[in-house]
């Protein structure tokens, strides 16, 4: 095995082990802490003992804990999330569309911000000491350090309630009852609802990419490499692009990490905008104590982080051999 393959095998092993530990923690957090929805269901007294036993066996809760745990692991591995307690539907039927709604909002936002703020950051680093550099740093620092729901609330107040340009809530008009994919996501109504949460997400993510790109360029200013290019008579733009290309690896790996955190990161954004995504569903299911849904949603969020961490590690190892040589930890 080459050094890179060994590194890859080790990283995949670690990711698998982490997934196992993470799902174990989720399982025991939900089962062992007091006040499960099932005790509440039983304590409400409206059910006969017969019905209680039926419900418990339906959810496999009459089995010993270690058997429940094994069944749970088996089910997660096959993406069988069971049935929702509050809605008589399979969990996946509830979460699948929500997951898609989250992705359709956040992936384009993340890509947009990665491209735009990386370019802006490179330019800001190039113009070190200018008002543009200071201004862009202060602005994006504000946007990334302020909790996203606060930015969202301020934007809603300005653009929805004061200027009345875009709706403040939801993904479609309440009266709209779209059928099928195209009807749901390809309409003016959808776009209208999309603009504000999309913008806030782009602005929220912009800071990290801007600073990464800016630092990358600043670190290389005055390097031998750049002097060489200057000596070769390259134009300022050409020099900047060469410098920028060298600092793209951190941006790329950071993009992968951010993508992993996408579902959990903007729970608050979805709540504020009433966006029917997986984050908002999680908050609702927690308050309804619909544990099969909660369990599945948290699992998907953890899995996304683990997988994208793996991708980020592999990316940087692939493009920067010094990482694998150093053992990769």
Q: Closest Cα to residue 171, out of 153, 142, 191, 155?
A: 191
Residues ≥6 apart with Cβ < 8 Å to 305:
260, 261, 264
If you write DSSP's letter for every residue of 183-246 in order, what string do you get? Answer: HHHSSHHHHHHHHHHHHHHHHHHHHHHHHHHHHHHHHHTT-HHHHHHHHTT--HHHHHHHHHHH
The CB-of-156 to another protein minimum distance in angstroms stands at 7
Nearer to another protein (CB atom), residue 135 or residue 321 = 135
Nearer to another protein (CB atom), residue 96 or residue 135 = 135
- Residue indicated by tokens 């939801």: 170
Coil, strand, or helix at residue 274? coil
The CB-of-204 to another protein minimum distance in angstroms stands at 12
Quick one: 164 exposed, middle or buried, by C-beta within 10 A (0-12, 13-18, 19+)?
A: exposed
Nearer to another protein (CB atom), residue 193 or residue 208 = 208
The CB-of-75 to another protein minimum distance in angstroms stands at 19
The CB-of-141 to another protein minimum distance in angstroms stands at 5
Nearer to another protein (CB atom), residue 129 or residue 180 = 129
CB atoms within 10 A of CB 7: 23
Nearer to another protein (CB atom), residue 184 or residue 254 = 254
CA angle 84, 85, 89 (to 5 degrees): 40
Nearer to another protein (CB atom), residue 143 or residue 202 = 143
The CB-of-24 to another protein minimum distance in angstroms stands at 11
Question: Rule CB under 8 A: which residues touch another protein?
Answer: 14, 17-19, 21-22, 25-26, 29-30, 33-35, 128-129, 134, 137-138, 141-142, 144-147, 149-151, 153-154, 156-157, 161, 211, 215, 218-223, 261, 263-265, 267-268, 271-272, 282-283, 286-287, 289, 294, 297-298, 301-302, 305-306, 309, 329
The CB-of-139 to another protein minimum distance in angstroms stands at 10
- Residue indicated by tokens 């809530």: 169
């Amino acid at each position: 095995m080459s050094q890179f393959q060994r590194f890859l095998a080790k990283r995949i092993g670690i990711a698998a082990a982490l997934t196992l530990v993470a799902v174990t923690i989720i399982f025991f957090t939900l089962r062992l802490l007091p006040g499960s929805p099932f005790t509440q269901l039983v304590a409400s007294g409206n059910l006969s003992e017969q019905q209680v036993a039926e419900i418990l066996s339906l959810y496999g809760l009459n089995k010993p804990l270690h058997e429940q745990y094994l069944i749970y692991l088996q089910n997660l591995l096959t993406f069988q999330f069971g049935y929702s307690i509050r809605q008589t539907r399979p969990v996946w039927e509830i979460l699948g569309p929500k997951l898609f709604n989250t992705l359709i909002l956040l992936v384009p936002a993340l890509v947009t911000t990665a491209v735009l703020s990386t370019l802006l950051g490179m330019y800001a680093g190039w113009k070190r000491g200018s008002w543009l550099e200071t201004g862009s740093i202060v602005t994006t620092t504000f946007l990334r350090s302020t909790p996203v729901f606060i930015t969202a609330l301020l934007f809603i107040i300005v653009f929805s309630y004061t200027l009345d340009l875009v709706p403040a809530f939801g993904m479609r008009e309440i009266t709209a009852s779209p059928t099928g994919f195209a009807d749901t996501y390809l309409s003016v109504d959808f776009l209208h609802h999309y603009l504000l949460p999309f913008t806030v997400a782009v602005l929220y993510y912009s800071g990290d990419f801007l600073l990464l790109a800016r630092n990358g360029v600043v670190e290389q200013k005055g390097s031998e490499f750049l002097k060489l290019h200057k000596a070769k008579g390259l134009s300022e733009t050409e020099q900047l692009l060469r410098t920028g290309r060298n600092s793209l690896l951190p941006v790329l790996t950071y993009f992968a990490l951010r993508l992993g955190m996408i579902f959990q990161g903007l729970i608050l954004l979805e709540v504020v905008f009433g966006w029917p995504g997986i984050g908002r569903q999680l908050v609702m299911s927690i308050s309804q104590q619909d544990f099969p849904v909660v369990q599945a949603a948290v699992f998907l969020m953890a899995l996304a982080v683990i997988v994208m961490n793996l991708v980020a590690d592999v990316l940087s190892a692939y493009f920067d051999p010094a990482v694998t040589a150093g053992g990769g930890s």
